[in-house]
Structure 1
Amino acid sequence: MSLLSKKEEESGLSSYYNNKTTIIQEARVFNESPISPRKCRALLTRIVYLLYIGETFGTQESTTLFFGTTKLFQHKDSALRQMVYLAIKELATTAEDVIMVTSSIMKDMQPNSEVIYRPNAIRALCRIIDPSMVQGVERFFKAAIVDRTPSISSAALVSSYHLFPVAKDVVRRWANEAQEAVNAKSSSGLFSTGSASSYLGFGSGSNQNNGYQPMPSTSYITQYHALGLLYLIRQQDRMAVTKMIQQLGGGKSGSGSVLKNPMALCMLIRYAAKVMEEDPNVQRQMFEILEGWLRHKSDMVNLEAARAICDMKGVTATQLTRSIAVLQLFLSSPKPTLKFAATRSLASLALTHPASVASCNVDLENLISDPNRSVATYAITTLLKTGNEASVDRLMKQITGFMSEISDEFKVIIVDAIRSLCLKFPTKHVSMLGFLSGVLRDEGGYDFKRAVVEAIFDMIKFIGDCKEQALSHLCEFIEDCEFTKLSVRILHLLGIEGPKAPQPTKYIRFIYNRVVLENATVRAAAVSSLAKFGIGVDDDKLQRSITVLLNRCLDDIDDEVRDRAALYLKALKEPLLAEIYVKDDSVPSLSALEAKLVAYVNEPDAAEQPFDISSVPKVSRAQAAQEAARPSTLDTIGAPSVQKKSATPPPPTAEETRSAYAQQLADVPELSSYGPVLNSSAKPAQLTESETEYQVTCVKHVFQEHVVFQFNVSNTLPDTILEQVSVIMQPSADSGLMEDFIIPIPSLSASTSPGIVYVSFTRDSPEEFATASFQCILKFISKEVDPTTGEPEEEGYEDEYQLEDVELSAGGDYIVPSYANFAAEWDRLRGRSTATETFALSAMESIKAACDSIVEILNMEALGGSQNPTSTSIHTLQLSGLLTGGGGKILVRCRMTFSRGQGVTLELGVRAEKAEACNLVLAAIGG
């Protein structure tokens, strides 16, 4: 208690001592004469501390403190000067008129000034100056980058990072200096031969830098900063980045590398991995360089190179041999960090190459009892992925022993490993389900419990023998579940799987308990689940019982629960309503519905015609739930750039992409009279190689009477500007299309890429579906950029670039994927337009390849998992879609047989609401 009281007293004292108001009042110490370095340093430390913990100063307060701090430039105390620069750097973002201190800072940046001042002055200057002043201080930064003192060079390089976003053209001119800093073979040290305290300015000799003599440094940290800046400058030019990696890599052995700093080498390895991912053509060269780094003397470099090789796309077992050997060596290291890094990399690799990782199983088993439970967790999850069926029971016992000792984060990793193991060894489902049900009753957060529930869901879906037992475990779990989302998901699953069970009545008690005991959200889900039992089970007695329970829900205090109960009571009496609102598993796509409603209300004659809900594609309820969890609006979809992709946001769905395109087209005045977009390509077509200097992709937009081609053009050359960029399209004969106009890009540089060129065509017969092949040429005026001014030269030259042909296809551009209940819709369309034809797909090497090809050609929704055949000789693919322009539903049934040597024989059956749709599908496959 006395210790606690002492801490509280200290906390209260600190709160008063570091109070913002108190500090502002004490700032008068800056105006004292003579200046007291000790008092000023203490006060500046308190100011910086407040800023670092998130305290904010108002503009007036910051300005007062800032200019009070600048008065301390009169004093020569080295330690005080360092604190002055720290405070200036932090206050500059909120204070006014900070530009006035530039001259004082520039004085400390001079080559003849004290070495200890220059790094701090450089860092402060980059926060003070505005973009228009960068060119004026260019010579100072160039000199500092190549300075022999590492602290000065690093400060200039890091400051260049901060200046790059606001002054790209100026910083790009420092590439030669950055290259020189990378190539520096030796550097001068920072500390003197004397004591560090006297050098930093503490003690009697602080005003004089007596005895300072640079000494050699072996850290080479400047190379790390210089390499980062060099990549920042060259990142738009992939060929330049590739050349830089090859020059600095040191060849196949890696021993001749110019880079001596391990962190710089790790960064170069990441650049090499990024280049390999974007350009498979250089994969072989990059792989040889990465293998050379596996023999580097630094453990950090070895691990980074091994991880990069393991993460390569399409890596083979032979290529992984050396990387796995390096990781296996680290498994027996006495350093916990190396063991942790190696086991984590092997656990990730085991997902795709379990046989290759299996050679490390003996070493991994020795780590199960490792005192570091993080290492033990990764070791055992790797063994679960690579072990055989006989070792499952033994591993499950070992897992149970230490589950209570690890955090939820690592529990999730283990559960995910067991989830994949369930599908690998379905005969071991009893022990694995027992383990999952046991940990479900243990203490844990939402993420952990959700991972366990998802694992049980997968067992129910893919292992039929454990379905009934798994449902019972879930029923017991929701009795005490504290997470509303999980209760709702389990109730939804019970409503789907419960009516199909041999004894469906045993689940009703658990469901109705939720109506009595839970919150409104769970009660509403329980009502829906009860109704599915009444509608899905053909038992009059059970239906009467469900009716009684639902009638009780009519008195609920929540309107959602009452409304659901009323709806389902009505559906129980009328089978047609039950078919529509309960049995039908399809709902309109939320993003597509939103986009079409926006387009509808923006039409001039919207009030005169009803909204056509049949034109909205449908998705399954599971897909709709995923859509609802995503943002409803997206950023404008442009061309892919060569910059690093962000892993944070989820990739947009096809419907979200089309919605974003529709919003983008609505902002183009020339296209405003075209009406709503009927369909847009979900994936841009690549018209150039990935390593070329000009990158072009194409997106096709189909309107009622027009087709618009959107070309996303990227210029990757930083020293060239393209003007009057356009695309000339030459359609094939009798295409049924007539060109309207081209909207070019006035000017395109590397920093403004990508730009968009629009080419519009009129459909001669809107009721027909025109198909054509277009030859495309990129035309532009190329102008060099003056390196001194950053402006393009007055004279340029006309140039053109041949692009890949663009196809306007019969299926993919006029059909929108849409979910449907295939059996019910197929019977409904029996009396409508039908067509059947047989095709020989001799080029197809498997039924799976044929399925993928047909789905891609027709751009339709594969239903019921039929895109993934379970048989290698015979299969039926079921597809559903909507024809653009109000053409109605299209269903396709593809019966396929495969024989080696003859390929795939396809019987294509089509049923649609219009004859044009049948002809379109047949033409797409036949073409």
Structure 2
Amino acid sequence: MAFASKKEDESGLSSYYNNKTTVIQEARVFNDTPVSPRKCRALLTRIVYLLYIGETFGTQEATTLFFGTTKLFQNKDSALRQAVYLAIKELATTAEDVIMVTSSIMKDMQANSDVIYRPNAIRALCRIIDPSMAQGVERFFKAAIVDRNPSISTAALVSAYHLFPFAKDVVKRWVNEAQEAVNAKSSASFFGSSSGGGGYLGFGGGAKEQSGHQPIQSTSYIAQYHALGLLYLIRQQDRMAVTKMIQQLGGGKSGAGTTLKNAMALCMLIRYASKVIEEDPNVQRQMIELLEGWLRHKSDMVNFEAARAICESKHVQPQQLTKSIAVLQLFLSSPKPVLKFAATRTLAALALTHPQPVATCNVDLEALIADPNRSVATYAITTLLKTGNEASVDRLIKQITGFMAEISDEFKVIIVDAVRSLCLKFPSKHSSMLTFLSGVLRDEGGYDFKRAVVEAMFDMIKFIPDSKEQALSHLCEFIEDCEFTKLSVRILHLLGLEGPKSPQPAKYIRFIYNRVVLENATVRAAAVTSLAKFGVNSNEPSLKRSVSVLLRRCLDDVDDEVRDRAALYLKVFDEEPLAATYVKEESVFSLAALEAKLVAYVKDPAAAQEPLDVSSVPKISRAQAAQEAARPSSLDTIGAPVAKSTSPAPQAPTAAEKQSAYVQQLAEVPEFASYGAVINSTATPAQLTESETEYQVTCVKHIFKEHIVFQASFNVSNTIPDTVLEQVSVIMTPQDEEIGLTEDFIIPLPSLTSATSPGIVYVSFTRIDPRHTPFGNLRKKGMKMSTRWKDVELSAGGDYIVPSYATFGSEWDRMRSGPNATETFLLGAMDSLKAACDSIIEVLHMEPLGGSETPTSESVHTLQLSGLATGGAGKVLARCRMTYSRGTGVTIELSVRAEKQEVVDLVVAAIA
């Protein structure tokens, strides 16, 4: 854990008193004879304080202070001795030769030492010793872990956490002692000391210092919490061992037989159970039964943790939520604010996926709208917005307006997101919700809050056509006083897209031109582009002339970007082809895909003899291009699956970036040098093995002009590190002999261990007739590994069509006279239009356009798709008109237009 520096908080006398130079000079007090415990304790406190606020000591300074501090080991003052341990533990990371004090520390670790020193000595020792010395002190730590004194036991267990990354093999041998600490059932006792009058530091759970050496009873069982964490740390790579540990410590379905008496330990066990539920589907039912048993525990902490775990699980059915929601409902009426806050926040998150079960708590949630704790009230109203019906919308909006000014921006964002979801759920109430959003947009707030409101309005414009005029008017008023450049630019871009399509486009021009007069250069440039779109897309000659006059005034702007844009657009007004390319066109080349194409073109001598053909490079929208430009390069991050990690995952690379990475990877294999450029590589590797097997295998298909290469990546998560696999290969044979593929060769993996994972095996096939598109399954006949295998399928979408953005209306009309086909299909297994859209997009692997992937009606919808056929076959568009009726399913009218007939047949066959 890193603390922010607090040095700037000091001033005056305190700054001088806690000055590093002053502290180092006063360190001579450690050498006084006799030693003054009071002065030494005060100086040690100042040293620890300086380290806490972020002050750093040089190596020489830290070493001087460290060894000056160690001279106090012989002092009999217990409080001073404990302060010494705190100081040397913090200075040990910077000072040199700290191992020299090991013998002094170990003297205080002896069983016959005063119990007040042992916990601090244990904590200091794990920071002092070298990892290679861990085995030498192993017996001391083992004895300390099973000590009946919880202060000593917890100190040893926590120290084991710090030692584990450097001495895994040694710490793993302490599993029996950790298990014994978990199973401890009797109340522990330890002895305090009154010598020195300074008390002592350490865990004790409610213990108080007594005079003399009196036994002090502790019923906190805190050692169980730390011991359980250490057991999991040791066993976390063995899923079966973790599952068995949870079942043994869980105490059965009721949870009454558990050996864990500490509430925090039970909460930790519940979190481990939740992780197992997500990773292992075979034990989901048993784990959920355990969680339901803990709902009846006497501790509110355990009740809530179990309820939250059930509610957050992705594998729980709605009927399994009843008991956990009942527990959370009881918390809603609790007098404790923390329980009400926890319950409302959990219910608010659950309402996103299961609003109907949460609706049973609406009466209790409405009572919390007036709660004095505004955080509780915020989550209560947010949950009601997600679970309420259409009749309650106006009443809820009125209640929200009353306390928006009393909450922080963080909670305002939560409420705005809930209002956006509610508006999409009940489009007929858009007017009142837009009025609410425009009102809060005028309130004080930061960038994140204002951005959330603007994004909500954008979504309403996109999905609710009736709200467009009202929303655009509110946005125009907002940019008059908007202080955030990014938001102004986004709104101007939207006005340029939607304004020319409105019945009265001229009314927006005044707001746009005001930005040219009053704003900074970035906003002025965006306003010029927006004005140009009005001039190009408008059918009124008078409007075009007015826009031309305004753009000519921009030629005198002080910023060259504004002047250049104005000059460009004035030029394209007179030439329709230029206007279509530079103003009307909403797509651009994907930079990652274009880079991959250029790399392949430069490295292929045969291709370099001809001009570069960019017709096969997919396009993306300008909004996607802006996001892609902000992404880090991932050319060296693709190639094979990686082991699971607990660290935050980086942003997933796009399909184009993966394609670029695969091109670079295949170029390093000399056997593929004569194959030419890669036409396409599958964006998502196919999982060939079950998730619980020790050897994880995935497959990526690379499509060349006359060849297909299957790249099998092996990711070893073997629990036996000494296992070595040699000459690993994959044997693949077509399931259908008429598939038109013949095997060329296999590039095996010489050896594979957990240290060299992941490894890659290549299997190459030649297409007998390159004009023929191979379909069917490829089945593995043999493998030198004991794993269960799945089939690899060559499909139309994922292998021969790549997503590509296009302006659907104009492209659809342009391709009217080309190859086309229209077929009708019935998808009886689909229970909604959304499920049908997702399935069609997955099968065809095409780009959904205009937000058509999200149906706005439950009965009728039109899905628009665009793609690029590989091998230079050109563009392909698909329009799916869908109707849904209960009992029948989804009926689809599929219309396909492409530049070549074989591509049309390919798309129709994929759906059929």
TM-score by length of 2: 0.90
Encode CA deviations 1:566-615: one digit per residue, 9 max, x unaligned. Answer: 22112211111221222222122233334444555566789755544333
Give the match's secondary structure for 1:619.
Answer: strand
Aligned to 1:775: 779
Distance across 1 between alignment mates of 2:727 and 2:189: 52
1:616-627 mapped onto 2 (5 Å cutoff): 616-627=617-628
Aligned to 2:481: 480
Aligned to 1:186: 186
Aligned amino acid, residue 104 of structure 1: S
Distance 1:369 1:809, change over 3 A: closer
Aligned to 2:876: 890
Aligned amino acid, residue 864 of structure 1: G
1:379 aligns with 2:404: no
Give the match's secondary structure for 1:85.
Answer: helix
Give the match's secondary structure for 2:877.
Answer: strand
Of 392-401 and 654-663, more deviation after overlay is shown by 654-663
Distance across 2 between alignment mates of 1:377 and 1:711: 48
* C-alpha contact 1:698 1:712 (8 A) present in aligned 2: no
Q: Which of 746, 749, 758 pairs up with 2:751?
A: 746
Distance across 1 between alignment mates of 2:510 and 2:579: 23
Give the match's secondary structure for 1:469.
Answer: helix
Aligned to 1:431: 432
1:336 Cα offset (Å): 0.8
How many correspondences in the alignment? Answer: 895
Aligned to 2:205: none
Aligned amino acid, residue 441 of structure 1: R
Distance 1:142 1:602, change over 3 A: farther
Encode CA deviations 1:669-725: one digit per residue, 9 max, x unaligned. Answer: 776786654433222222222233333332333345451413232324256634327
1:818 aligns with 2:804: yes
1:670-819 mapped onto 2 (5 Å cutoff): 677-703=678-704, 705-717=707-719, 721-724=723-726, 726-732=728-734, 733=737, 735-744=740-749, 746-749=751-754, 752=755, 754-764=757-767, 769-771=773-775, 773-776=777-780, 800-819=786-805
Distance across 1 between alignment mates of 2:264 and 2:710: 49
Distance across 2 between alignment mates of 1:778 and 1:118: 60
Distance 1:216 1:52, change over 3 A: same
Of 298-307 and 177-186, more deviation after overlay is shown by 177-186
* C-alpha contact 1:695 1:713 (8 A) present in aligned 2: yes
Of 916-925 and 624-633, more deviation after overlay is shown by 916-925
Give the match's secondary structure for 2:212.
Answer: coil
1:11 Cα offset (Å): 2.8
Aligned amino acid, residue 762 of structure 2: V
Give the match's secondary structure for 1:416.
Answer: helix
Aligned amino acid, residue 541 of structure 1: S
1:423 Cα offset (Å): 2.1
Distance across 1 between alignment mates of 2:347 and 2:830: 36
Give the match's secondary structure for 1:630.
Answer: coil
Aligned amino acid, residue 15 of structure 2: S
Aligned to 2:575: 574
1:881 Cα offset (Å): 1.9
Q: Which of 846, 856, 866 pairs up with 1:880?
A: 866
* C-alpha contact 1:862 1:880 (8 A) present in aligned 2: yes
Distance across 1 between alignment mates of 2:673 and 2:134: 43
1:362 Cα offset (Å): 2.1
Distance across 1 between alignment mates of 2:676 and 2:64: 58
* C-alpha contact 2:146 2:181 (8 A) present in aligned 1: yes
Aligned amino acid, residue 763 of structure 2: S
Distance across 2 between alignment mates of 1:912 and 1:897: 24
Distance 1:563 1:767, change over 3 A: farther
1:255-654 mapped onto 2 (5 Å cutoff): 255-597=256-598, 600=601, 610-633=611-634, 636-637=637-638, 643=644, 649-654=650-655
1:644 Cα offset (Å): 5.7
Aligned to 1:77: 77
Identity of aligned pairs, percent?
A: 73
1:516 Cα offset (Å): 0.8
* C-alpha contact 2:183 2:260 (8 A) present in aligned 1: yes
Encode CA deviations 1:228-275: one digit per residue, 9 max, x unaligned. Answer: 122222222222222222111111111111111111111111121222
TM-score by length of 1: 0.89
Of 848-857 and 18-27, more deviation after overlay is shown by 848-857
Of 531-540 and 818-827, more deviation after overlay is shown by 818-827
Distance across 2 between alignment mates of 1:481 and 1:296: 53
Distance across 2 between alignment mates of 1:39 and 1:638: 62
Aligned amino acid, residue 700 of structure 1: K
Give the match's secondary structure for 2:711.
Answer: strand
Distance across 2 between alignment mates of 1:575 and 1:9: 64
1:544 Cα offset (Å): 0.6
Distance 1:405 1:910, change over 3 A: closer
Distance 1:864 1:773, change over 3 A: same
Of 865-874 and 307-316, more deviation after overlay is shown by 865-874
Distance 1:415 1:263, change over 3 A: same
In structure 2, the gaps of 5 or more residues are 1-7, 203-208
Encode CA deviations 1:71-98: one digit per residue, 9 max, x unaligned. Answer: 3334343323322322222222223333
* C-alpha contact 2:141 2:156 (8 A) present in aligned 1: yes
Distance 1:699 1:183, change over 3 A: farther
Distance across 2 between alignment mates of 1:452 and 1:656: 32
* C-alpha contact 1:715 1:753 (8 A) present in aligned 2: no
1:287 Cα offset (Å): 1.3
Aligned amino acid, residue 71 of structure 1: K
Give the match's secondary structure for 2:799.
Answer: coil
* C-alpha contact 1:725 1:757 (8 A) present in aligned 2: no
Of 830-839 and 708-717, more deviation after overlay is shown by 830-839
Give the match's secondary structure for 1:578.
Answer: helix
Distance 1:904 1:371, change over 3 A: closer
Distance across 2 between alignment mates of 1:480 and 1:54: 41
* C-alpha contact 2:368 2:380 (8 A) present in aligned 1: yes
Encode CA deviations 1:490-514: one digit per residue, 9 max, x unaligned. Answer: 1111111111112111111110010
1:531 Cα offset (Å): 0.8
Give the match's secondary structure for 2:620.
Answer: strand
Give the match's secondary structure for 1:812.
Answer: helix
Distance across 2 between alignment mates of 1:193 and 1:286: 45
Of 583-592 and 363-372, more deviation after overlay is shown by 583-592
Distance across 2 between alignment mates of 1:770 and 1:42: 81
Compute the RMSD of aligned alpha carbons.
3.3
1:460 Cα offset (Å): 2.1
Aligned amino acid, residue 128 of structure 2: I
Aligned to 1:166: 166
Distance across 2 between alignment mates of 1:430 and 1:866: 23
Aligned amino acid, residue 366 of structure 2: E
Encode CA deviations 1:258-306: one digit per residue, 9 max, x unaligned. Answer: 1111111111111212221223332221111111111111111111111
Distance across 1 between alignment mates of 2:580 and 2:261: 71
Distance across 2 between alignment mates of 1:638 and 1:444: 45
Aligned to 1:136: 136
1:444 Cα offset (Å): 0.9
Distance across 2 between alignment mates of 1:428 and 1:468: 15
Aligned amino acid, residue 15 of structure 1: S
1:767 Cα offset (Å): 6.1
1:761 Cα offset (Å): 0.9
Aligned amino acid, residue 293 of structure 1: W
* C-alpha contact 1:237 1:693 (8 A) present in aligned 2: no
Encode CA deviations 1:321-360: one digit per residue, 9 max, x unaligned. Answer: 2112111111111111111111111222222222322222
* C-alpha contact 2:639 2:661 (8 A) present in aligned 1: no
Give the match's secondary structure for 2:723.
Answer: strand
Distance 1:680 1:42, change over 3 A: farther
* C-alpha contact 1:686 1:697 (8 A) present in aligned 2: yes
Distance 1:245 1:667, change over 3 A: farther
* C-alpha contact 2:554 2:562 (8 A) present in aligned 1: yes
Aligned to 2:20: 20
Distance 1:83 1:825, change over 3 A: same
* C-alpha contact 1:654 1:682 (8 A) present in aligned 2: yes
Distance across 2 between alignment mates of 1:453 and 1:850: 30
* C-alpha contact 1:186 1:216 (8 A) present in aligned 2: no
* C-alpha contact 1:727 1:778 (8 A) present in aligned 2: no
Distance across 2 between alignment mates of 1:647 and 1:771: 39
* C-alpha contact 2:588 2:620 (8 A) present in aligned 1: yes
